[in-house]
Amino acid sequence: MGRDGQRPTSGFKYERIADAIRHDMLDNLLPNDILPSERELADRFGVSRMTVRAAIATLVSQGRVYNIQGSGTYVGSKEVLTKSAALTSFTEDMVARGLRPSSRVICAQRVAATGMIAHRLAVETGAACTHVRRLRLADEDPMALENVYFPAEVLPLEGVRLAESLYDQLAESGNEAFRSEQEITATVLDDETAGLLDVPEGSAALVVTRVSSTRRGRIIEYARTYYRADRYSFMTTVERESGER
């Protein structure tokens, strides 16, 4: 994918429609502008509403548009990256938006798990862990500061490629992240963290605490990531549980 976020035109019809909506419409609309209705888009591109729906779903997952149920589809902000509820890595999030991800490693070391870390990773106190602290950038702009602990046998420090996607490396060794328990809280940044993220001290941030496991339920990471609140929003879909009311 190019730096301008343009994917090569791909095979599926809905992907071609997603590309067309991106280039014909999104680039000419402002954040929070409403898109034409599903029916209008279907007529305009000469495709079924189902294809339009799939194209919109792709754009939602890329953070380019967002839906308000019963109201319509709106243009997302270019500045604020709207993250869908899907389990994704930082690398995937940036690539989906046509940005180039990179990392600045602040520390990478082998440590013995204590207290909260042992508890969250469900390992014995004193068990060997890999601790990685990285500043994550998109097109050279600092976006997030990650502080992640992995059980050492899941991600040993030796041989790890710290500048690259750690989720990819977990997947390569058969420990693909499949499920995460996540808590999102708000904070104001201290001097050091604000400096790294290149925002004024006291700026707002979203703190995402994530415990991830494999499909088989093996815990593979305990992460605390500080996301710049001026660049990120998190989108979730909520649904009434059947039987309620």
Binding site for ligand GLP (CB under 6 A): 89-91, 144, 146, 148, 165-168, 208, 210, 221, 223, 225
Q: Report the nearest approach of ligand GLP to the CB of residue 75 (Å).
A: 25
8 Å CB contact between 16 and 24: no
210's enclosing H/E stretch is: strand 204-213
Considering beta carbons, is residue 22 or 231 the nearer one to ligand GLP?
Answer: 231
Rounded to the nearest angstrom, the gap between the alpha carbon of residue 24 and the centroid of all alpha carbons in its chain is 26
The CA–CA distances, whole Å, from 27 to 78, 80, 122, 145 equal 10, 15, 47, 30
Considering beta carbons, is residue 73 or 91 the nearer one to ligand GLP?
Answer: 91
Considering beta carbons, is residue 19 or 146 the nearer one to ligand GLP?
Answer: 146
Amino acid at 243: G
Q: For residue 203, is it left (φ>0), alpha (ψ between -120 and 50) or beta?
A: beta
Q: Report the nearest approach of ligand GLP to the CB of residue 162 (Å).
A: 9
Amino acid at 119: H
Q: Give the integer Cα–Cα distance in Å for 165 and 132.
A: 12
The CA–CA distances, whole Å, from 65 to 17, 25, 79 equal 14, 11, 13
Q: Report the nearest approach of ligand GLP to the CB of residue 132 (Å).
A: 8
Considering beta carbons, is residue 27 or 168 the nearer one to ligand GLP?
Answer: 168
Q: Give the integer Cα–Cα distance in Å for 154 and 48.
A: 46
Q: Report the nearest approach of ligand GLP to the CB of residue 88 (Å).
A: 7
Considering beta carbons, is residue 22 or 83 the nearer one to ligand GLP?
Answer: 83
Q: Report the nearest approach of ligand GLP to the CB of residue 83 (Å).
A: 9
Q: Give the integer Cα–Cα distance in Å for 84 and 232.
A: 11
Q: Report the nearest approach of ligand GLP to the CB of residue 147 (Å).
A: 9
Considering beta carbons, is residue 14 or 149 the nearer one to ligand GLP?
Answer: 149
